[in-house]
Amino acid sequence: MMNNKPSRVYLVLLLLTLLTYLVGENGLGGLWVAAVVMLVAVLKGVLVVQYFMGFRQVIGWWRWPVLVWLFLPTALIMLSFYLAAI
């Protein structure tokens, strides 16, 4: 029987991508818009790590490095956008 979970995750990833694209097409900018766009990117990343890479089923230390990676560039990028905004 076909496992439908990846298909649902795939659909969510497509919808979130279209949302990000529309933000860009409408010229929306500024610190808070950047924060929301980055949050959407992290959410997409978490879905890929958990459901496509299969880390959801991993127990122990190996579960964390790739997930933590997602937050490292995100924090640095948001810090740079915050400094640009103040």
Partner 1 sequence: MWFFILAELLVFALLFAAYGFTRLENLMLFNQLQQQLNRDLALLNTLALISASYTVVRSVLALKSGENSQAARWMWLSFALGMVFVAVKSYEYSAYIGQGISLSTNVFYMFYLGMTFFHYMHVILGLVILAAMALKLQRGDYMADECSGLESGAAYWHMVDLVWLILFPLIYVMH
Q: Transcribe 34-66 into DSSP letters.
A: HHHHHHHHHHHHHHIIIIIS-GGG--SGGGSHH
What's the CA gap between 63 and 8, in Å, rounded? Answer: 22
Q: Does 48 bind partner 1 (CB under 8 A)?
A: yes
**Which tokens belong to 3?**
């496992």
Q: 45 or 59: whose CB is closer to partner 1?
A: 45
Residues near partner 1 (CB under 8 A) are: 3, 6-7, 9-10, 13-14, 17-18, 20-21, 23-25, 27, 29, 33-34, 37-38, 40-41, 44-45, 48-49, 51-54, 62, 65-66, 69-70, 72-74, 76-77, 79-81, 83-84
